[in-house]
Amino acid sequence: MPQPRTWLSAVGLLAGLAAATPLAWAQSTVAIYGRLNTSLEYTRASTATEGKVRGGAARLTNNRSVFGLMGEENLGGELKAIWQIESSLSIDNGQGQIASRNTRLGLQGPFGTIFGGNWHTPYTESTMGYDPYYPTTAGYMALIGNGSASSTDNIEDTSSFDRRQKNTLQYRSPVWHGLSGALAWGLPEERNTAPRNPALYSFATAYDAGPLNLTLAYEVHQHYQVAGRNDDAIKAGVAYQFATTRIALVYERLHYRTATGDLSRNGYYASVVQKLGPGSVRLGFAFAANGTADATETVGFFHAGPKTSATQLTFGYDYPLSRRTALYAYYSRIDNQRNALYDFAINGIGVAAGARPQTFALGMRHNF
């Protein structure tokens, strides 16, 4: 009887190795990464016409902290399978959701990268690096992009052009002499519940050569407001890195087509990051012009008419404690004209027409 037991044990051991070995061989790399970003803020909003202060409060805010896993498998030659699972993580209240942020599965090779999942659109990615306060309460999304959708499909958020889109098929080209391109299709999976058949198409191209970066992006929201009419946005940006100074400029035009007519708006953004001591001074300024055309609806933060423009000014200092950890402080203020309704896109405080929302923040950021 000892021999059969020994034989069975050997068979069991070999079976276990056979089951485990392909898995170990298949996965060539796995990386854990994340960003923890929180700040203590004091916010308030004053009414432009009366000068009254409303809603002053202290709060602990989460600036889109994340926890993620990513990896790749070598499929032979230059072909790889790639994957990523990125989850939201709220330091201030302990909430979060698995795979609610950039999450994908795809292939990468000499042809570029193709993947499906829940991911930032090329339009969003094209200039998000131009804003030194992205993604915090002070981010430029209050005016540029008309708000921010952390994760949305074709019907959950129909106004924002700064968005992470669910159910997308995307392509990233290889870089050729500094040139690259990106495409995304937000599939019309809501057709059964929204007969207007909404979908998204996003495009971006960039030229990156040493200190110079140029980008141009375009996005179409098919039938988002009403059947048979499309919204679209175009955006151009330029950034240049000098020895100790980085300057970035963005122009954007948004165009919505609603049931009552058209709604358009121009937006502008400029940022300066100046190295000073061990850290850097960071300045951002955005301007949203009056909404124009004949639509009567308010879409996102704006509508048509006089005195619907707004500006946002943000300045602060970022102090690195190490390569991965930094302390920062900033002040940000939005000045709405009498009929304007702009609010912070992340951690908004709720405003009435003509209000001047503002925040002062002391924060800490750690990347791992």
Portion of the chain with pLDDT greater than 70, in percent: 90
Q: Is 102 helix (H, G, I), strand (E, B) or coil?
A: coil
Residue 128 pLDDT level (bands cut at 50, 70, 90): very high
- Specify if 19 maps to a domain: no
pLDDT for 132-176, tens place per residue? Answer: 999 999 999 999 999 999 999 999 999 999 999 999 999 999 999
Tokens encoding 327 = 């302390």
What's the rounded Cα separation, in Å, for the pair 359 and 362? 10
CA 17 to chain centre: 43
Cβ-contact 344, 353 below 8 angstroms: no
More confident residue, 160 or 91: 160
Contacts of range 226-235, beta carbons closer than 8 Å, 24 or more positions apart: 226/196, 226/257, 226/258, 226/259, 227/195, 227/196, 227/197, 228/196, 229/257, 229/258, 230/257, 231/158, 231/255, 231/256, 231/257, 233/123, 233/145, 233/161, 235/123, 235/126, 235/127
What's the rounded Cα separation, in Å, for the pair 119 and 172? 12
* Averaged pLDDT, 248-264: 98
* Residue 236 DSSP code: E
At 316 the pLDDT is 98
More confident residue, 320 or 91: 320
Which of the residue ranges 48-57, 176-185, 297-306 would you say has the lowest mean pLDDT?
A: 48-57
Cβ-contact 183, 202 below 8 angstroms: yes
At 301 the pLDDT is 97
At 15 the pLDDT is 42
- Specify if 275 maps to a domain: yes
What's the rounded Cα separation, in Å, for the pair 279 and 239? 20
- Specify if 3 maps to a domain: no
Q: Is 211 helix (H, G, I), strand (E, B) or coil?
A: coil
Cβ-contact 140, 284 below 8 angstroms: yes
What's the rounded Cα separation, in Å, for the pair 303 and 294? 10
More confident residue, 188 or 9: 188
Return mean pLDDT, the chain: 92
CA angle 89, 95, 98 (to 5 degrees): 55
Can you give the residue range of the structural domain that contains 281?
A: 28-367
* Averaged pLDDT, 64-76: 96
At 54 the pLDDT is 56
- Specify if 234 maps to a domain: yes
Which of the residue ranges 48-57, 104-113, 232-241, 308-317 would you say has the lowest mean pLDDT?
A: 48-57
Which of the residue ranges 14-18, 61-65, 322-326 would you say has the lowest mean pLDDT?
A: 14-18
Cβ-contact 258, 230 below 8 angstroms: no
- Specify if 15 maps to a domain: no
pLDDT for 336-354, tens place per residue? Answer: 999 999 999 999 999 999 9
- Specify if 73 maps to a domain: yes
CA 145 to chain centre: 10
Tokens encoding 214 = 């140029």
At 2 the pLDDT is 40
CATH of the domain at 249: 2.40.160.10
Q: How many domains would you assign to the chain?
A: 1
- Specify if 249 maps to a domain: yes
What's the rounded Cα separation, in Å, for the pair 199 and 183? 14
Tokens encoding 170 = 């995307």
What ranges make up the beta strands (E) of the chain?
A: 29-47, 53-62, 65-76, 79-89, 96-97, 103-109, 112-120, 149-152, 163-172, 179-186, 199-209, 212-222, 230-241, 245-257, 262-276, 279-288, 310-320, 325-336, 355-367
